[in-house]
Amino acid sequence: MKETAANEHWAAGTQILWRYRENAGDRVHICRPVTVVRDTDELLAVWLAPDTPCVRPARADGAPVHREPLATRYTVPRTVVRDRWYGMGVLKLARPGEPWSVWLWWERGWRFQNWYVNLEEPRARWAGGVDSEDHFLDIDVYPDRSWRWRDEDEFAQAQRDGLMEPAQARRVEAAGRAAVELIEAWGAPFRDGWEDWRPDPRWPVPTLPEGWDRTPARLAT
């Protein structure tokens, strides 16, 4: 995996890491190797290919976190496990400084399904990729321009469990409202035709390198 200085742009085809640190902590608990599609001052676009080796959080017994009842989902003992990205790949789009990224999902046969707005900390770049922190609350956006909130229950539970202070929760809610305004105005990236994009067939599936969990970059506050 080729690295560049944190302030340099990555060339298309470069493999980097897209990571999330745990909430109210410093450990990386999600790591996804991705391939750079475009990297400019205005946009970072990356491709998460099917069957990519990843790292994800799990219960201490190795079971998926989503199997844990919501009331104890964020307090049950956890670990991290290696896995592979399931199903179709995902195109991730992120603009510098914006408190969300936009993901594109397809069904088999490249039938476009929907956009997914993942509310998160603005990404911090480092030589090998980008780091963020997930903010639980998400938005589904459909080809007919309709939208709906996702995971409001998890957002509320995270606050009850002390993973998000009230001031941070208010910032996340404000970011969600700003994202909805962008959706309703049909601004970038929804208007940009990314649903017709396809990955270069010559790109190999990225590998998960040693040191994937080294100290994450400092995130915005």
179-195 per-position pLDDT tens digit: 999 999 999 999 999 99
Q: Where are the beta strands (DSSP E) in the chain?
A: 15-21, 28-39, 44-48, 53-59, 78-84, 90-94, 100-107, 111-120, 124-126, 129-132, 134-141, 147-150
What's the pLDDT at 221?
Answer: 36
| pLDDT of res. 1 | 57
In whole angstroms, give the CA distance from residue 132 to residue 95: 13
Name the token pair of 3.
């690295």
The structural domains of the chain, with segments of one domain joined by +, span: 15-196
Task: Evaluate the CA torsion angle 136, 141, 142, 147 in order and state its sign.
Answer: positive
How are beta strands 129-132 and 78-84 bridged, if at all?
unpaired
Predicted pLDDT at 184: 98
| Distances 42 to 77, 93, 125, 131, 203 between C-alpha atoms, Å | 39, 10, 14, 17, 24
Please provide the average confidence, as pLDDT, over all residues in the chain: 94
Q: Going by CATH, does the domain composed of 15-196 fall within 2.40.380.10?
A: yes
Q: Residue 216: what pLDDT?
A: 74
Q: How many CB atoms lie within 10 A of CB 18?
A: 21
24 band by pLDDT with thresholds 50, 70 and 90: confident
Our CA dihedral for 155, 130, 8, 219, rounded to 10 degrees, sits at 60
The pLDDT value given to residue 5 = 60
Q: How far apart are CA 95 and CA 109, in angstroms?
A: 28
pLDDT (tens digit per residue) in 88-142: 999 999 999 999 999 999 999 999 999 999 999 999 999 999 999 999 999 999 9
